[in-house]
Amino acid sequence: MKQFNGQVLFLDRDDINTDEIIPAKYLTENSKEALKPHILEDLHLDGFNAGRDIAGKSIIVAKSNFGCGSSREHAVWVFEVNDIKVVIAESFARIFRQNMFNCGMLAIELPKNEIDTLFLLGENTVINVDLEQNKIIAQNEQGRKEEFSFTLNPFDRELVLADGWLAYADSKY
Amino acid sequence: AYVFTFNLTFLFNMVKKLDSLWTIDFQCIRSVRIMGKTIAEKIFAAHLRDEPSPGNVVLDIDVILCHEITTPIAINDLVAKNRDRVFDPDKIKAVIDHVTPAKDSKTATQGKILRDWARRHKIKDFFDIGRNGVCHAIFPEKGFIRPGYTVIMGDSHTCTHGAFGAFAAGVGTTDLEVGILKGVCSFREPKTMKVYISGKLPDTVSAKDVILNIIKQISVNGATDMVMEFVGPVVEQMSMEARMTLCNMAIEAGGTSGICMPDRVTVEYLWPFIKDSYASVDEAVADSKKWHSDPDAVYAKELRIDVSGLQPQVTYGFKPDEVKDITDMEGTPIDQVYIGSCTNGRIEDLRAAAAILANRTIAPTVRGILSPATPAIYSRAMAEGLIKVFMDAGFCVTNPTCGACLGMSNGVLAEGEACASTTNRNFNGRMGKGGMVHLMSPLSAAAAAIAGHITDPGKYL
Ligand code: SF4
């Protein structure tokens, strides 16, 4: 089973859009790697500094309607090349969510109160996503632990396990 | 009735389970379900290829649209994976529209990748410089979108094409790759939001104001994972151009696709392309009705709006649901006016703006930019004398392109500048870092150009 775990980057806002995740001017790049330094470059969030806050993080926790706006899969790739393979949020924009699963990555929805609880854990929280039990286990520096279960629809799970939609579709259609 | 429906659903699920044991024709059973279907559900049923898990479907796709921003990276990936193939070159349409003519080596390379690919796979519907226009304007204009079709494109405003009674959705690069390779795409079963629009549109109010007001009411994620079905007397009276404007911004409320019922207006627009398939317009109209939502179709949400008292609408913030009546924005200074894009760069939009610009000149503090969305619109506007009106008023007229709409070329804003724009997205930095975009109708944008600030277009009509 694939492993998804690591340090959390908390982004405390609704409606974070794909222009903020990766500005349109970088859409002329023809490789994923070239996007790497521009992750969340235009994100406007009090106290957030892309240059300082992203290193070492592998899971994003955010609020509602994450990834709204354009269809650019670059928004998923810029996470991928920065080793962020999971986004946990109250809700996602459809295309972004689909792009995550299509790339074999995880977009997990949790109810608002559980997201709020995760935010309360604060900086230096580590999350472990257990794909077998459908559980998220979060632990902060002080050792406080929170556990939530999530639902993943069987098709999305298959995409994650198959390493994305292209491999899946290629073997099936 | 509710209990009855529940029991039937239960029965249906039972049968569905049995289906896996006894190879009963599942589609057959689904069709005896007594609940009516929405247009989106009908299109899904007619294109169903697979149902990998309950609620997830894989559809056959009728048209795959491509442009030079999201497709080259898909092409490169397919080449790298040794899958440089296309499932059907006649079902793939491609255009260079976002940055054209190319502005630098990178955009030139993107164009080249798309161009070379179209040539090597014999994609005959490929539109390059001189014949190119904004994707969601040029593809419908060529008759590529028909009622009942499934359409995908690596572009979020693909929802525009729902105006023709098609299911049209923006997708990411991987979906596009699979589409190009296999002609299929996966979706969740569609839920539909019905938007019933009644009343009489005031003279200064257009489809753009209506959709901005709807987004204001339901918010930027009010229609997430839903098809927005636009119905009612106001929609029935709208031209295809206006319906495209309406459907274009469904994504700004999170909608998967906008959709309108195909009718006589649709058929007349498409007639040059479908006349060989039908004996008469009447026959085509009658045939298109098969896609109409059933009266007992089930909706996830319903919104009713009466437009009779509606004012022109303008956005004030960095989200498309941050919308105010134009009178509440009166006097907001403007540095640039942009008329164009897949939302409002069509002939009707140019006529509306020209009605205000005729015999007037724009404020000296304003830069006016017009980009007719396609060459056909451009030459029509020329024939009608509209281009001259724009130029006499002080506008710069550019070739058809997306350019300024996404802040890539032909009118990028400087820090601190504001633009009155007929586009669809006002995200922070959209038309240039530090710039503010006020979304509005062509009438309101033309009025802002004359006044030098946001103002009610009514006073110039
Ligand atoms: S005109 Fe703007 S919104 Fe429309 S396709 Fe082009 S960039 Fe996208």
pLDDT digits (tens, 9 = 90+) for A8-28: 999 999 999 999 999 988 988
Q: C-alpha distances in angstroms, B274 versus B144, B266, B280?
A: 10, 11, 10
**Dist CA B141 CA B374 (whole Å):** 9
**Dist CA A168 CA A101 (whole Å):** 11
Mutate which of B127, B135, B158 for ligand 1? The one with the most ligand atoms within 8 Å of its CB, which is: B135
* Residue given tokens 């610009």 in the structure block: B357
ipTM score for this prediction: 0.90
**Dist CA B234 CA B207 (whole Å):** 9
**Dist CA B451 CA B454 (whole Å):** 7
Run of H or E including A166: helix A165-172
SS3 sequence of B363-385? CCCCEEEECCCCHHHHHHHHHCC
Query: Ligand 1 in contact with B431 (CB < 6 A)?
Result: no
**Dist CA B250 CA B77 (whole Å):** 30
Q: In this structure, are residues A17 and A69 in contact, taking their beta carbons and an 8 Å threshold?
A: yes
Burial B331-358 (b: 16+ CB within 10 A, else e): ebebbbbbbbbbbbbbbbbbbbbbbbbb
Residue B110: which of A19, A73, A29 has the closest Cα? A29
The string of DSSP letters for B198-266 reads: ES---TT--HHHHHHHHHHHH-TTTTTTEEEEEESHHHHHS-HHHHHHHHHTGGGGT-SEEEE---HHH
Run of H or E including B337: strand B336-339
What are the pLDDT digits (tens) for A74-103? 999 999 999 999 999 999 999 999 999 999
- One digit per residue, pLDDT tens: chain B, 461 residues? 333 444 444 444 444 444 444 334 444 444 445 689 999 999 999 999 999 999 999 999 999 999 999 999 999 999 999 999 999 999 999 999 999 999 999 999 999 999 999 999 999 999 999 999 999 999 999 999 999 999 999 999 999 999 999 999 999 999 999 999 999 999 999 899 999 999 999 999 999 999 999 999 999 999 999 999 999 999 999 999 999 999 999 999 999 999 999 999 999 999 999 999 999 999 999 999 999 999 999 999 999 999 999 999 999 999 999 999 999 999 999 999 999 999 999 999 999 999 999 999 999 999 999 999 999 999 999 999 999 999 999 999 999 999 999 999 999 999 999 999 999 999 999 999 999 999 999 999 999 999 999 999 999 99
Q: In this structure, are residues B72 and B114 in contact, taking their beta carbons and an 8 Å threshold?
A: yes
**Dist CA A165 CA A159 (whole Å):** 6
For chain B, the maximum distance between any two Cα atoms, rounded to a whole number of angstroms, is: 76
Q: What is the dihedral of CA B161, B337, B402, B157, to 10 degrees?
A: -30
Can you point out the beta strands (E) in A27-74? 57-62
- Kindly report the protein residue whose alpha carbon is nearest to atom 4 of ligand 1: B342
**Dist CA B271 CA B284 (whole Å):** 9
**Dist CA B125 CA B132 (whole Å):** 11
Q: A98 — contact with chain B (CB < 8 Å)?
A: yes
Interface contact flag, B182 A98, Cβ < 8 Å: no
Phi, psi of B126 (to 5 degrees): -120, 130
Confidence (pLDDT) at B33: 53
Interface contact flag, A95 B170, Cβ < 8 Å: yes
Residue A36: which of A80, A99, A93, A96 has the closest Cα? A80
Interface contact flag, B406 A24, Cβ < 8 Å: yes
**Dist CA B445 CA B339 (whole Å):** 7
Q: In this structure, are residues A108 and A136 in contact, taking their beta carbons and an 8 Å threshold?
A: yes
Q: Smallest CA–CA separation between A166 and chain B, in Å? A: 6
Can you point out the beta strands (E) in B224-279? 226-231, 257-260
The residues pairing with B58 across neighbouring beta strands, listed in sequence order, are B50, B186
Q: In this structure, are residues B224 and B257 in contact, taking their beta carbons and an 8 Å threshold?
A: no
Interface contact flag, A153 B56, Cβ < 8 Å: yes
**Dist CA A65 CA B43 (whole Å):** 27
Q: In this structure, are residues B95 and B66 in contact, taking their beta carbons and an 8 Å threshold?
A: yes
Amino acid at A121: L
Angle between helices B281-288 and B264-274 (to 10 degrees): 120
* Residue given tokens 């298109």 in the structure block: B288
pTM of this structure: 0.91
Query: Ligand 1 in contact with B424 (CB < 6 A)?
Result: yes
Residue B406: which of B332, B322, B324, B343 has the closest Cα? B343
Run of H or E including B397: strand B395-397
**Dist CA B53 CA B294 (whole Å):** 26
**Dist CA A146 CA A139 (whole Å):** 6
SS3 B122: coil
Query: Ligand 1 in contact with B402 (CB < 6 A)?
Result: yes
Q: In this structure, are residues B83 and B207 in contact, taking their beta carbons and an 8 Å threshold?
A: no
Within 10 Å of residue B202's Cβ, how many Cβ atoms? Answer: 15
Confidence (pLDDT) at B154: 96
**Dist CA B424 CA B248 (whole Å):** 8
Interface contact flag, A154 B49, Cβ < 8 Å: no
* Residue given tokens 């997306």 in the structure block: B402
Q: C-alpha distances in angstroms, A93 versus A127, A153, B251?
A: 23, 16, 9
Residue A146, token pair as written in the block: 């929170």
Amino acid at B218: I
Please report residues of B whose CB lies closer than 8 A to that of A71.
70, 154-156, 158, 170-172
Cα of A118 vs its chain's centroid, Å: 14
Query: Ligand 1 in contact with B78 (CB < 6 A)?
Result: no
Amino acid at B42: K
**Dist CA B108 CA B302 (whole Å):** 46
Q: What is the dihedral of CA B368, B371, B376, B380, to 10 degrees?
A: -10
**Dist CA A24 CA B332 (whole Å):** 27
Amino acid at B294: D
Interface contact flag, B224 A65, Cβ < 8 Å: yes
Query: Ligand 1 in contact with B346 (CB < 6 A)?
Result: no
Ligand 1 atom closest to Cα of B408? 7
Angle between helices B347-357 and B386-393 (to 10 degrees): 50
Query: Ligand 1 in contact with B406 (CB < 6 A)?
Result: yes
Q: Is A26 exposed, middle or buried (0-12, 13-18, 19+ CB in 10 A)?
A: middle
